[in-house]
Amino acid sequence: MTKKVQQLDRVVIRFAGDSGDGMQLTGDRFTSETAQLGNDISTLPNFPAEIRAPAGTLPGVSSFQVHFADFDILTPGDAPNVLVAMNPAALKANLADLPGGADIIVNTDEFTKRNLVKVGYDANPLEDGSLDRWVVHPVGLTSMTVGALADHDISKKDAERAKNMFALGLLSWMYSRPYASTITFLERKFAARPELVAANIAAFKAGWNFGETTEDFGVRYEVKPAKMSPGNYRNITGNVALALGLVAAGVRAKLPVFLGAYPITPASDILHELSKHKRFNVTTMQAEDEIAAIGAALGAAYGGALGVTTTSGPGIALKGETISLAIALELPLLIVDVQRAGPSTGMPTKTEQADLNMALFGRHGEAPAAVIAPCSPSDCFYAAIEAARIALTYRTPVLLLSDGYIANGSEPWLLPDVSDLPDLRVEFAATPNGEDGTFLPYLRDPHTLARPWAVPGTPGLEHRIGGLEKADRTGDISYDPANHDFMVRTRAARIEAIEVPDIEVDDPDGAASVLVLGWGSTYGPIGAACRALRQRGLPVAQAHLRHLNPMPKNLESVLKRYGRVVIPEMNLGQLAHVIRGRYLVDAIPYNQVRGLPFTAAELESMLEDVVKNV
């Protein structure tokens, strides 16, 4: 059957089902196929917070949204054009996000009376007219998969599990995706069980063939490759990019990398990824708890390694005392906080930006540390290298604030030339630096205010270590009031001495009177909203903070150029409070703590009101 091929410039697809339906795998494979075609991509996995929620219930719904286009995109999309719903729970949990006219592909085999009752449906929505606003495609995904695998030597349960591959085959056909990589992936994933390789490939091809032959799908779609800078690309998630950035930092510093970590959502993937790179002199240790993890990382830093610890908000709370110790010892240490919704255990699989106050101020005493935040999945690679530069140059702990949105999301990443990455090599202290032939561990570099980094065991460089206040220069224990005041002020001055780039402003015509200031993962939604407003003739400027402590030296002058400064955050206004207090700028906070990223549409609507009422 010859079917019409329609060109589209962009599509947003959401795969949704039980956590056991393989929606994350399905979405990941579709994304990989799309990346090979050269589209620009942004994804948003959404995991259930319950580890084993009952099958078919709303708390157990897992989804994966992918936005792909033939132009540069900044977000995973506000609303899906297509929803693949594997059961009634997936339909009900996601229906409110669908605009009228969107396509819904439903697995009719799961719309049993029992499953409908589980999620509060009094009648079957496929039959009562409640879905008339959308284009519904009823497909017996489970039964058709089992039928397609009838001749395969596998159990019925294994055959039913392959329904996600049937769905993937159907969507791959619909959007003209190349699928050779999926076949290769299945061959590798199930290499130990050839019967599952054959079954999953057969299910995938059955879904493809169903799309080719059924009359329900009369149109096939194409989205042409995006215009991108030449080079080699790969699809990458924020956590993997961050891990590779740490590896690259170790290579460029010519230092061993040591990660001390305790598993915690959504940071655990960094530990998993780093454990694969032992050949780059990377050592990973899964500690018994968060305190042990950072203690081991700080010990590694004392011993001359690039010490790293990764966690989320609850872990940062536990690590606070050791972060203070690292600040007093003035040793390089990277603390990665992949933020999730709190407080306490909060919502472990949902995203938030509410750890900024803790990163800036969450320690006893005057204990300032450097703080930076990546703005996208691929930027996590460069943020890790920048964090290492600051830590190694200024002998300070650096907190790197990622979050669940960019950690699990993915986008195309242009592989860098390693020789273009910054040279991070440091010189360890090798000889005594005192006039009398002694070693002065707190004799500082006049430019950076950093103290020498002396590897234990170096002859003649014996010195005290510990959390009690140090005497200037000698490092001896000191209770002298004047010395304590001097050391506190010097540690603060060392952070302020960190050289960071000026903040850049995106204000194409220079006519904007409103500046939107963001940090972290709000970059994409803010950028998309500003882009949409400009296309409508409403001038608005955008600036984004990567360095949160110290802040760029030109930030104050930038802020005071605009009549209004708006700061959207996934918290209750933490950066806005800092900006108002430090620069006396009447910043307008715009906040949400839903566990989800902003949509471009809601920011566009809010900013339109601000721009029109300046």
pLDDT at 41 over 70: yes
pLDDT at 2 over 80: no
Q: Which two tokens stand for residue 614?
A: 């300046």
pLDDT tens for each residue of 151-179? 999 999 999 999 999 999 999 999 999 98
Q: Which two tokens stand for residue 283?
A: 């050592």
CATH 3.40.50.970 boundaries in the chain: 234-420
Residue among 522, 543, 531, 521 at smallest CA distance from 604: 531
- Kindly report the average pLDDT of the chain as a whole number: 96
Per-residue pLDDT, averaged over 495-524, amounts to: 97
Per-residue pLDDT, averaged over 380-408, amounts to: 98
Class of domain 505-612: alpha beta
- For residue 516, the surrounding DSSP H or E stretch is strand 514-519
CATH 3.40.920.10 boundaries in the chain: 4-223
Per-residue pLDDT, averaged over 274-289, amounts to: 98
**What is the model's pLDDT at position 1?**
62
Residue 308 — pLDDT band, cuts 50, 70, 90? very high
State the SS3 of 575-602.
HHHHHHHHHCCCCEEEECCCCCCCCHHH
- Provide the 8-state DSSP code for 438: -
Per-residue pLDDT, averaged over 498-524, amounts to: 97
State how far the Cα of 504 lies from the Cα of 512, in Å rounded to an integer: 15
State how far the Cα of 297 lies from the Cα of 257, in Å rounded to an integer: 9
What number of helices (H) and strands (E) belong to the chain? 20, 22
Residue among 399, 390, 461, 457 at smallest CA distance from 426: 390
pLDDT tens for each residue of 180-202? 999 999 999 999 999 999 999 99
CATH 3.40.50.920 boundaries in the chain: 505-612
Residue with the two structure tokens 């110790």:
325
Contacts of 505 (CB under 8 A, 6+ apart): 515, 541, 542, 543, 558
Is 3.30.160.20 the CATH classification of the domain at 234-420?
no
- For residue 393, the surrounding DSSP H or E stretch is helix 379-394
State how far the Cα of 18 lies from the Cα of 53, in Å rounded to an integer: 9
> Candidates 1.10.2020.10, 3.40.630.10, 3.40.920.10, 3.40.190.80; correct CATH number of 4-223?
3.40.920.10
State how far the Cα of 308 lies from the Cα of 332, in Å rounded to an integer: 9
State how far the Cα of 507 lies from the Cα of 451, in Å rounded to an integer: 41
Residue percentage of the chain with pLDDT more than 70: 100
For the entire predicted model, the pTM comes to: 0.96
Residue among 330, 273, 281, 279 at smallest CA distance from 301: 330
Q: Which two tokens stand for residue 360?
A: 């800036």
